[in-house]
Amino acid sequence: MRRELLSVTGAEGIGPYTLLRVARGRLDAGVPGQFFMLEAPGRVLPRPMSLCSASPRELTFLIDPIGPGTRALCSLGSRDKLHILGPLGNGFDLEVERPLLVGGGIGVAPLPRLSEALGGPPAVLGFRSDWHAEAAALVPNAETCIEPILVTKLLPEERHDVLACGPAPMLEAVRSLAPAAQLAWEAPMACGYGACHGCAVEIGGELRRLCVEGPVLRRGGTEHGGTRGSPVSPLLRRAGSTDRAGAPVSVLVQMHR
Ligand code: FES
C-alpha cells in the first residue's frame, strides 16, 4: 500500500458513469476486488473505488457521479492531479475452477480486471436502464438484463464459482442461490485501512471493519462465522431509507457520495 499524487490522463463517459484514467506511477494494482481511496482536490474525504483496469502505465476507475465527492472525481481533466492510496482490503480469490462473474449497476466496476485475471469467463450483469447497461461493454462474454428483470434470473443452473459485486439486495439474492459465492460488499469508508471504524458492519455477530475484513467476503461471509442478512444491514437500518423497489441500496450509494 502506498499513497501517490498521480496525473489524470483522461476521462470518458460510459452511459451515466465516468471512466477516469490515471497515470499509474509506482502503485501496485493489487488483486481484483481490492480498492483504492481517491482524493479529489478540494474535497475533505476520499472515496473508495475498485480498480476497473490496469496497464503498466495507467489505472482506470469506473465512477458513478451520484454526489459531490464522486462528481468532483468525474469532473477531473487531463491537467489535474489527485492523491490515490492503495491497494486496500481483500480482493477475490482467483483459485476457482469454473468462474461466473455477476454484477449489478456500478458493481460492474471491478469486473473487467477480474475477467482479465480469470481468462474471460462468462458474466451476467443487471442494470436499471439501457443507458446504464452501456457499461456492459467493458466486460467480455457478458449477458445483460435490464430492470425489472433481475440478474439472478440469468444465473445458470449448473454449478459455478460465483464472484459477485453489486448492491446489497443483489448480493443477498446471489448468496441465497449460490451460498459459496465470493461477494464484494459496499460500505461507507473514510480512511480505508482500519483506523476510523466508519465501515464497521455486522459479521458473525460482531462489528468488523469491512475495509480490513473485506470488501470481498468468501462464501458470502460464512467463513467469518456467518452473517445474518447483509453484513451492511445495520448501517442500512440506521440510515432508514429504501429505494423505489423497497430495497435499501440507495442508502449505501448516498453514503458514498
Ligand atoms: Fe476506516 Fe474502515 S474505512 S476503518
- The three cell numbers locating residue 61: 476507475
Closest atom, ligand 1, to C-alpha of 48: 3
Percent of all residues in the chain with a pLDDT value above 70, rounded to a whole number: 84
Q: Return the SS3 of 38.
A: strand
pLDDT band at 222 (very low <50, low <70, confident <90, very high): low
Q: How far apart are CA 247 and CA 73, in angstroms?
A: 27
Give this prediction's pTM.
0.87
DSSP string, 84-111: EEEEESB------SSEEEEEEGGGGTTH
pLDDT at residue 219, rounded to an integer: 72
Residue 248 has pLDDT above 60, yes or no: no
Question: How remote is the CA of residue 52 from the centroid of ligand 1, in Å?
Answer: 22
197 lines ligand 1 (CB under 6 A): yes
- The three cell numbers locating residue 178: 449460490
Closest atom, ligand 1, to C-alpha of 195: 4
Q: Pick from 34, 88, 191, 232 the residue to mutate for probing ligand 1's pocket: most ligand atoms within 8 Å of its CB.
A: 191
Mean pLDDT score of the chain: 87
pLDDT at residue 9, rounded to an integer: 97
User: Of 22, 82, 74, 25, nearest to 53 (Cα)?
Assistant: 22
User: Of 29, 24, 20, nearest to 73 (Cα)?
Assistant: 20
Q: Pick from 185, 186, 193, 235 the residue to mutate for probing ligand 1's pocket: most ligand atoms within 8 Å of its CB.
A: 193
Q: Pick from 196, 201, 235, 252 the residue to mutate for probing ligand 1's pocket: most ligand atoms within 8 Å of its CB.
A: 196
Question: How remote is the CA of residue 243 from the centroid of ligand 1, in Å?
Answer: 25
pLDDT at residue 204, rounded to an integer: 63
Architecture of domain 2-88: Beta Barrel (2.40)
Q: How far apart are CA 108 and CA 143, in angstroms?
A: 12
pLDDT at residue 224, rounded to an integer: 52
Give φ, ψ of 163 to 5 degrees: -125, 120
| 195-207 tens-digit pLDDT | 999 898 876 677 8
194 lines ligand 1 (CB under 6 A): yes
Residues 6+ apart with CB under 8 A from 244: none
114, 32 contact by CB (below 8 A):
yes
Residue 3 corresponds to which amino acid?
R
Residues in the chain: 257
Residue 187 corresponds to which amino acid?
A
- On the question of a cis peptide bond just before residue 234, with omega within 30 degrees of 0, the verdict is no
| 115-171 tens-digit pLDDT | 999 999 999 999 999 999 999 999 999 999 999 999 999 999 999 999 999 998 999
Question: How remote is the CA of residue 178 from the centroid of ligand 1, in Å?
Answer: 28
